[in-house]
Amino acid sequence: MSFIMGLALCAAAVLIIVIGGGDPLKLVDYKALAFVLIGITGLIIITSPMKSFIKHLECLKQTLKKGESPDKLIEQIVWLVQTARREGVLALESCEDEVKDPILKKGLVLITGSADRETIESILESDALYYAEREKSVQEFIERISMMSPGIGMIGTLVEIVQMLYTYKGPQTLAPGIAKALIPVVYSGIIAYLLLMPLASRIKSGSERRKQHRELAIQGVLAIQSGEPPSIVEQRLSRFVGGAVKDSGSDAAQEMGN
């Protein structure tokens, strides 16, 4: 939601400048817009095979999701700890469907499969690293496209200027011709600096947040496997969110049970 709100504010800022400069329809050039969009699409195809591009889109969709809050994840881990201590580790098999976090879910499968601590930690850390590398790859891909996009606009401008000079009919046509030739640069700049670069930065910040989230899930799985008391688990995991969990372990167990 905040990303959409930010885009709306950027669009409003551009609109204010456009309206303040006179006739906004003079900046509407469908040929220039088509040139820029097709050119950027060509860059995407050149720099990334279709299979990789589809994977990037899937990862981008997952990255932009808000996701579960750390507090909720801690509540769920505390509930799982209580369940394991009260009913045994095998009882966690019936809880797997209620767990959405992929690291925590896989950890429960490993625990109920009687994997040892070292194996569990190694597998989950490898998964966390894989997810982080995917997000980094998407971020770098979008950054590459954002850096190359203004070049597409510049090429469009140069082509327009060349065509204008070939059809030059006097000084009265020079200023309007140059203004029209600059429109592809405007479009490519808006796409690069107001859409793609902010999107790459958001992916980076989201990836850092998810890295902490995954570490929280890994530590929670290890706590469940070692059979630590719920109160100790809650206190130890609360450092990942900079404070104590709002609800007690018993409240979390009651909520999850409902």
Structural contact between residues 200 and 149, judged by C-beta atoms closer than 8 angstroms? no
Distance from chain centroid for Cα 115: 32
CB atoms within 10 A of CB 181: 21
Question: What is the pLDDT, as a whole number, of residue 114?
Answer: 81
For 227, how many CA atoms within 13 A lie in the half-sphere containing its CB? 7
C-alpha angle with apex 150: 145 to 156, nearest 5 degrees?
Answer: 120
The count of other CB atoms within 10 Å of the CB of residue 223 is: 22
Q: Alpha helices, DSSP H only, in 21-99? A: 30-47, 50-64, 70-87
Reported as a single tens digit per residue, the pLDDT across 108-149 is 888 888 888 899 999 999 999 998 998 898 899 999 999 999
Distance CA 249, CA 133 (A): 34
Give CA angle at 119 (257, 222), nearest 5°. 35
62-98 pLDDT, tens digit each: 777 776 788 888 888 888 888 888 888 888 888 877 8
Supply the pLDDT for residue 251. 44
- 156-213 pLDDT tens trace: 999 989 988 888 777 777 888 888 889 999 999 989 998 899 889 888 888 888 888 8
User: Which of the 8 DSSP states describes residue 33?
Assistant: H
Using one digit for the tens of pLDDT, what is the confidence trace for 89-116?
A: 888 888 877 888 889 889 888 888 888 8
What CA–CA distance (Å, rounded) separates 134 from 137? 5
pLDDT tens-digit profile of 224-245? 888 888 888 888 888 766 544 4
SS3 115: coil
